[in-house]
Chain A
Amino acid sequence: MQSEASLKIAIVDDSAVRAAILEEGLREAGHRHVIRVEGTENLLERIYAIDPDVILIDLENPSRDVLEQMFRVSRAVKRPIAMFVDQSDSASIAAAVDAGVSSYIVDGLKKDRIKHILDISISRFNAFSRISTELEQTKSALTERKVIDRAKGILMKRKGLSEDQAYALLRTSAQNEKKKIAEIAQSIITAAELLK
């Protein structure tokens, strides 16, 4: 019997970073044959050429519909592919869709043999989306910090305040107006621009 590690896995993902994260996860789990497929041109032919046992694809990828064609028994299809679904296990489908990944396997491949591949995909996709969210938050925190610094500078210059006093004034105004400090800071900058 073919060992788990020898399964050939193709990753179709528009996000190169996410594909790399997933590939790394699969390699850590001992999978040696992981191939990333990029772009949309002639996708089916390229996948046939790889002849994978398992295909993982992100749900934001319109090419998902192209893979559905491989279910069909026709001249073009060498090995029919089935979506990895278990009629009894709707929770796992929901988890995969929620994470944004879908998987297809060669017909006849025992589903329990690839269950852990799907689990890795789900956790890596979730990790990626966590990282993206964090990155977004860090970016916006950085922007906010810059805005607040600029507003502090304006207050210090115009009102002759110390840095601490300027920040305290921003914070009090924010509390009074039930707004974020960054919002108050932004309106100070806008006002200063207008009054230039």
Chain B
Amino acid sequence: MTARNKLRIGFIPLVDAAALIVAVDRGFAAEKRLEVELVREVSWSNVRDKLNIGMFDAAHLLAPVAIASSLGFGHVKVPIIAPFNLGLNGNAITVTNALQKALQDKAEGDLADPKVSARALAAIVAERKRRGEPPLNFGMTFPFSTHNYQLRFWMASARIDPDEDVQMIVLPPPFMVESIKSGHVDAFCVGAPWNSVAVDLGIAHILHFVSEILQRAAEKVLAVRAPWAKDNPDALYALVYAHAKAAAFIEDERNRDEVCSILSAPDRLNVAPEIIRRTLDGRLKVSPDGKYRESDRYLMIGRRGAARPDRAQASWLYAQMVRWGQAPLSKELLLSARETFRPDIYDEVLGGGDLPPEGEPKDGVGAFDGPEFDALDLEKHLAPWKLHRR
């Protein structure tokens, strides 16, 4: 490549944009002769639309939005591809102090077990219904989001109908904390740093890391339009390469201070480095009285094959769209959903074969509950669910 490639890339200020931000701000993109302008956005709809119409060359995007866009659900059909996975997991379910206490009272076992917490929630939901009280409100970030699906998957395991028994409310991440403070929502599922911000204010508890619900869930991807990828193979490959270097840099603990400081900049995430650090360390304060929970799965940026797009996860996300009535089930749609994820490009750039090591779930997702997940046979997986909107 001789000429420099100028790219505009959109992102939402969340810790899982780390690989993108570090690739640009730490110079990994420039090393590959990419001149990147990062544009901070306020909504996923904006990111999606600007990517779709070509105002962005690439974007930090919710994995299900990339798939929905390729399938043509929710808005205009624009084929999107994801050659790099920006992060696995990283969300958490946070509840008000009052709901935490109510859950504790109903829990038959350890509340850290999502089966126990879902059953406790079901008991609360039933009790509220009996008393004629309004349903609990759950905040999540977007209709086509892992947050939405993770909340639904979790509560439906205890036969709570997410469309009937509770209210699911879309809220922009920066409004989550305010909404829990004002009592507008009783709980939310969102990415870092917002859960920690709520806990630090003393108004909420982190109930679950989503990795307790699903061991591996594609969260955000680096998304580009399929035609753009075809027309700009050099830029695309350089971009993937720069991201891989950034991901490795982020995962190396020796660089953590530097990474946190890069991400905390006013025009990036604009939050204290310490809060970002908790996310990257996977050690979060989960209650206002100072309890911590630790997980090596909280947010996985490059380690254990996290950056390589995994089509099993694309299948899982599409299965949730089907289960909750956002999309019909068909072989063609499943194929398109899977082909949105491009491990082949990742392999071509990075030498391939960065497969999950031993100890990772065989089905690619590792859900805490439910019928066996076969990424190629969704009917078999979906049929046994009693609760659905198909």
A residues near B (Cβ < 8 Å) are 40-42, 44, 59-69, 71-76, 83, 85, 87, 90, 93-94, 97-98, 102
Q: Which of B163, B168, B174, B182 contacts A62 (CB 8 A)?
A: B174
Given contacts A65-B142, A73-B325, contact A59 B163 (CB under 8 A): no
The reply to whether B42 and A62 contact each other, CB–CB distance below 8 Å, is yes
Tell yes or no: B203 within 8 A of A by CB: no
The reply to whether A63 and B172 contact each other, CB–CB distance below 8 Å, is yes
The 3 closest A-B pairs by CB, nearest first: A62-B172, A69-B170, A64-B43
One digit per residue, 1 when the CB lies within 8 angstroms of any chain A CB and 0 when it does not, for chain B 158-188 equals 0000011001111110110000001010000
Cα of A69 to Cα of B45 in the assembled complex, Å? 11
Query: Which single residue of chain A is at the shortest CB-CB distance from B174?
Result: A62
Residue pairs across A and B with Cβ atoms less than 8 A apart, 18 shown, are A41-B184, A62-B43, A65-B142, A65-B170, A65-B171, A66-B169, A66-B171, A68-B142, A69-B170, A72-B326, A75-B164, A76-B163, A76-B167, A83-B75, A93-B53, A94-B54, A94-B55, A97-B55
Q: Could you count the A-B residue pairs with CB atoms below 8 Å apart for me: how many are there? A: 81
The reply to whether B182 and A75 contact each other, CB–CB distance below 8 Å, is no
The reply to whether B49 and A97 contact each other, CB–CB distance below 8 Å, is yes
Contacts of A72 in B (CB 8 A): 143, 325-326
Given contacts A42-B184, A69-B169, contact A64 B75 (CB under 8 A): no
Cα of A64 to Cα of B173 in the assembled complex, Å? 12
The reply to whether A60 and B77 contact each other, CB–CB distance below 8 Å, is no
The reply to whether B49 and A93 contact each other, CB–CB distance below 8 Å, is yes
Q: Which of B45, B55, B141 contacts A64 (CB 8 A)?
A: B45
Tell yes or no: B50 within 8 A of A by CB: yes
Tell yes or no: B46 within 8 A of A by CB: yes
The reply to whether B76 and A93 contact each other, CB–CB distance below 8 Å, is yes
Cα of A138 to Cα of B169 in the assembled complex, Å? 43
Tell yes or no: B149 within 8 A of A by CB: no
Tell yes or no: B233 within 8 A of A by CB: no
Query: Which single residue of chain B is at the shortest CB-CB distance from A42?
Result: B184
Query: Which single residue of chain B is at the shortest CB-CB distance from A69?
Result: B170
Q: Which of B42, B163, B168, B169 contacts A61 (CB 8 A)?
A: B42
How many of B's residues come within 8 Å of A, CB to CB? 33
Query: Which single residue of chain B is at the shortest CB-CB distance from A90?
Result: B53
Q: Which of B42, B74, B77 contacts A87 (CB 8 A)?
A: B77
Contacts of B209 in A (CB 8 A): none
Contacts of B172 in A (CB 8 A): 62-63, 65-66
Could you tell me the distance in whole angstroms from the C-beta of A121 to the nearest C-beta in chain B?
15
Tell yes or no: B44 within 8 A of A by CB: yes
One digit per residue, 1 when the CB lies within 8 angstroms of any chain A CB and 0 when it does not, for chain B 69-104 equals 000001111000000000000000000000000000
One digit per residue, 1 when the CB lies within 8 angstroms of any chain A CB and 0 when it does not, for chain B 40-60 equals 001111100110111100000
The reply to whether A68 and B50 contact each other, CB–CB distance below 8 Å, is no
Could you tell me the distance in whole angstroms from the C-beta of A163 to the nearest C-beta in chain B?
43
Could you tell me the distance in whole angstroms from the C-beta of A145 to the nearest C-beta in chain B?
32
Could you tell me the distance in whole angstroms from the C-beta of A72 to the nearest C-beta in chain B?
5
Given contacts A40-B175, A85-B76, A87-B76, contact A68 B167 (CB under 8 A): no
Could you tell me the distance in whole angstroms from the C-beta of B187 to the nearest C-beta in chain A?
17
Q: Which of B55, B77, B170 contacts A66 (CB 8 A)?
A: B170
The reply to whether B163 and A74 contact each other, CB–CB distance below 8 Å, is yes
Cα of A85 to Cα of B74 in the assembled complex, Å? 11
Contacts of A93 in B (CB 8 A): 49, 52-53, 76
The reply to whether B53 and A64 contact each other, CB–CB distance below 8 Å, is no
Cα of A42 to Cα of B183 in the assembled complex, Å? 11
Cα of A90 to Cα of B46 in the assembled complex, Å? 15
Q: Which of A40, A44, A69, A85 contacts B143 (CB 8 A)?
A: A69
Given contacts A62-B175, A87-B77, contact A102 B45 (CB under 8 A): yes
The reply to whether A71 and B170 contact each other, CB–CB distance below 8 Å, is no
Cα of A144 to Cα of B73 in the assembled complex, Å? 52
Contacts of B74 in A (CB 8 A): 68, 71
The reply to whether B164 and A68 contact each other, CB–CB distance below 8 Å, is no
Cα of A26 to Cα of B63 in the assembled complex, Å? 38
Q: Which of A60, A75, A94, A102 contacts B42 (CB 8 A)?
A: A60
The reply to whether A61 and B43 contact each other, CB–CB distance below 8 Å, is yes
Q: Which of A42, A65, A68, A75 contacts B163 (CB 8 A)?
A: A75
Contacts of A98 in B (CB 8 A): 55
The reply to whether A102 and B49 contact each other, CB–CB distance below 8 Å, is yes
Could you tell me the distance in whole angstroms from the C-beta of A89 to the nearest C-beta in chain B?
10
